């Protein structure tokens, strides 16, 4: 017979210490910052306690909408005010490193928009700060959270294509320069053109789908044909705000040699004479099958067309895998919060190093384009 006693039903329940809310702040109130605010507001146990942004009317509106106690024009004031556990950084690229490093040095966890920084050197400084502070540094790659990309990932990881040996990934626009003459078109502020802006998304989801192979060499080319002429802004983007010259590319292509012999072609354009709608795509050929994902339209629909090409007993056995919509920034923010709550044992695996590797590859692509040669990593 067991010597253990049954719990006394009359005894008072042991009091549990409630877990305090995670206190977050968001720096930047444009489209990306608003996605972070919306995502945080939907999570239990998370309180948005501060927001920072330069546009007063919009800042006031968002503060009221989300009942945020503190609002600031400058990010320095927000950090100085304190009362935070974590911050989202959703501002122009040249500000990613200074804000993230300042927050990490204060012991805060950081979720930054992509790319991690203007270049790998700044990205490395952010990763070093995260490791020194023993805090989370995540970077928002929301396109890998698409449901169609996750479905294709399941096919590849399940061996449905055999060994992938060639892939091509693109994000192509006809007239989508994000405000001609703005910080986006100044390399000192943005780090580059479409390769750094949307190409980093393409690089991220392609390497993710292929199982994170090492990139051993790149051969890239960049072109600036339409932007310098004031073309390629389109109706959704202002071509009048010319506070900066167009000093970046408007089209980029890169051939990446991967460890193990596979190759990956990446294309990114803000402006090119092609069909009107944006196109996000991924094509992969493997030893036992292939697949093709096509997503047309801007903004992109939640589900694109995913086809898998296969044989069975010598006959075509192509099929359309079931695909559910992804959760984009909602999933990015939720994963960040989960990592923060996971404690020190989890934090070391969220130090920004994956996003840093993307920056190192992008840097190598720009070097290759400048020097017109293959660059080895």
CATH number at residue 195: 3.30.360.10
Before 271, cis peptide (omega within 30)? no
Please give the residue range of the domain that contains residue 65. 22-143+332-350
Residue 242 has pLDDT above 70, yes or no: no
Task: Mark whether 108 and 164 lie in a shared domain.
Answer: no
The verdict on 218 and 307 lying in the same domain is yes
pLDDT band at 73 (very low <50, low <70, confident <90, very high): very high
Q: Same structural domain for residues 306 and 340?
A: no
Q: pLDDT class for 290, splitting at 50, 70, 90?
A: very high
On whether the CB atoms of residues 19 and 44 are closer than 8 A, the answer is no
pLDDT of residue 4: 41
pLDDT tens-digit map of 319-364: 999 999 999 999 999 999 999 999 999 999 999 999 999 999 999 9
Closest CA to 28 of 64, 61, 56, 54: 54
Looking at the structure, tell me whether residues 279 and 296 fall in a common domain.
yes
Residue 48 CB neighbours (<10 A): 24
The mean-pLDDT minimum among 174-183, 195-204, 246-255 falls in 174-183
SS3 291: strand
- Same domain for 337 and 266? no
Q: How many domains does the chain have?
A: 2
Beta bridge pairs of residue 87: 25, 110
The per-residue pLDDT for range 24-34, each reduced to its tens digit, is: 999 999 999 99
CA distance 359 to 263: 19
79 falls within a domain: yes
Whether 237 has a pLDDT exceeding 60, the answer reads no
136 and 157 both lie in a single domain:
no
What pLDDT is recorded for position 17?
A: 59
Helices (H), 193-286: 194-197, 199-209
Residue 345 and residue 205 in one domain: no
30 and 135 share a domain?
yes
User: What predicted TM-score, i.e. pTM, was given to this entire model?
Assistant: 0.92
Q: For residue 235, what pLDDT band results from cuts at 50, 70 and 90? A: low
91 and 170 together in one domain? no
**Do 341 and 301 sit in the same domain of this protein?**
no
pLDDT value of position 158: 98
**Is 170 part of a structural domain of the chain?**
yes
pLDDT number for residue 10: 53
Q: Is residue 3 part of a domain?
A: no
Tell me whether residue 93 is in a domain. yes
Asked whether residue 52 is assigned to any structural domain, the reply reads: yes
Q: Tell me, yes or no, whether 6 lies in a domain.
A: no
């Amino acid at each position: 017979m067991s010597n253990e006693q049954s719990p006394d039903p009359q005894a008072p329940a042991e009091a549990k210490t409630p877990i305090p809310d995670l206190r977050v702040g968001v720096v930047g109130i444009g489209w990306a910052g608003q996605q972070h605010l919306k995502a945080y507001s939907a999570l239990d146990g998370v309180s948005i306690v501060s927001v920072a942004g330069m546009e007063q009317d919009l800042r006031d509106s968002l503060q009221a909408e989300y009942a945020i106690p503190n609002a600031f024009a400058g990010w320095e004031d927000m950090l100085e005010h304190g009362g935070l556990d974590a911050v989202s950084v959703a501002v122009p690229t040249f500000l990613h490193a200074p804000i993230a490093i300042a927050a990490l040095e204060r012991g805060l966890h950081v979720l930054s928009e992509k790319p991690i920084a203007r270049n790998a050197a700044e990205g490395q400084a952010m990763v070093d700060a995260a490791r020194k502070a023993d805090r989370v540094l995540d970077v928002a790659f929301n396109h890998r959270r698409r449901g169609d990309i996750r479905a294709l990932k399941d096919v590849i990881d399940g061996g449905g294509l055999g060994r992938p040996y060639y892939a091509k990934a693109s994000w192509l626009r006809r007239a989508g320069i994000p405000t001609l003459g703005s910080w986006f078109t100044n390399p000192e502020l943005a780090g580059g053109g479409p390769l750094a802006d949307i190409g980093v998304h393409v690089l991220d989801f392609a390497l993710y789908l292929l199982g994170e192979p090492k990139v051993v060499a790149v051969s890239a080319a960049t072109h600036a044909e339409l932007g310098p002429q004031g073309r390629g802004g389109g109706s959704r983007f202002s071509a009048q705000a010319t506070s900066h010259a167009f000093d970046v590319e408007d089209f980029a292509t890169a051939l990446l040699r991967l460890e193990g012999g596979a190759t990956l072609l990446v294309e990114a354009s803000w402006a090119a004479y092609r069909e009107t709608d944006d196109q996000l795509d991924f094509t992969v050929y493997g030893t036992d099958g292939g697949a093709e994902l096509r997503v047309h339209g801007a903004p992109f629909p939640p589900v694109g067309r995913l086809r898998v090409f296969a044989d069975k007993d010598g006959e075509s056995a192509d099929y359309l895998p079931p695909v559910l919509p992804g959760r984009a920034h909602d999933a990015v923010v939720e994963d960040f919060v989960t990592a923060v709550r996971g404690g020190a044992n989890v934090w070391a695996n969220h130090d920004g190093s994956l996003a840093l590797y993307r920056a190192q590859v992008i840097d190598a692509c720009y070097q290759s384009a400048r020097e017109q040669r293959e660059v080895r990593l």
